[in-house]
Chain A
Amino acid sequence: GQQLNQSPQSMFIQEGEDVSMNCTSSSIFNTWLWYKQDPGEGPVLLIALYKAGELTSNGRLTAQFGITRKDSFLNISASIPSDVGIYFCAGQNYGGSQGNLIFGKGTKLSVKP
């Protein structure tokens, strides 16, 4: 089945730094989504992308739907402590009867000690 490769697996940030993470797939998707999970909570949708090449922002977050439809990127500018958590990418195809999201394994953001 389809799989997503999300990288990096984990990273440490210092307040004020910019952060980048990405997801790649061997097959194409119609939709890319990015979620954030805070400790003890369920994932929450950050950004949804519906067209190849689309660039969408949500505050300090910017995500892009790759032109090949096989990848997506999430950037966080000027990180703050509350940005820590696990970020998941997800891809979706909805042709036909099944359109389940396929999730990456997550990128864990922590604060540098």
Chain B
Amino acid sequence: NAGVTQTPKFRVLKTGQSMTLLCAQDMNHEYMYWYRQDPGMGLRLIHYSVGEGTTAKGEVPDGYNVSRLKKQNFLLGLESAAPSQTSVYFCASSGRPGALNGYTFGSGTRLTVV
């Protein structure tokens, strides 16, 4: 059982380039999330989705877009990468709020923007 899978694991981008991070879950979870993790800042929510076809902004959504065309996939896009977007990105999924076992996280994508 793979859980939450993120691709790619590492990426280096030049300023202004675009890219898409893919998150896939095989647990039939309704909810999916994208976080970024920076030193001393903990985990900050970028965008989330409460079901197929829905997305919503989190704490730090600027510069990112997301799509949830299929229940099992949640894509995070950077249209024009900036050095401030250098970070480690984590995807997570969960059942409905209150469901047991909280969030399941992927192993992360380390992105460097030069």
Contact = CB atoms under 8 A, between A and B. Distances in A.
A30 to B, nearest CB: 7
Interface of B is mostly: loop
Given A88-B43, A101-B102, A104-B42, A40 B97 contact: no
A66 to B, nearest CB: 18
Interface of A is mostly: loop
Interface stretch (B13-21, B77-85, B104-112): B104-112
A45 B107 CA distance: 13
Interface string A32-52: 010100001111110010000
Interface in B63-112: 90, 92, 96-98, 100-108
Contacts of A58: none
A70 interface: no
A106 B37 CA distance: 11
Contacts of A1: 59
A41 B110 CA distance: 11
24 contacts: A6-B42, A30-B98, A31-B102, A35-B102, A35-B105, A41-B108, A42-B106, A42-B108, A43-B43, A43-B105, A44-B105, A45-B102, A45-B103, A45-B104, A48-B100, A48-B101, A88-B43, A94-B96, A94-B97, A98-B97, A100-B48, A100-B97, A101-B102, A105-B40
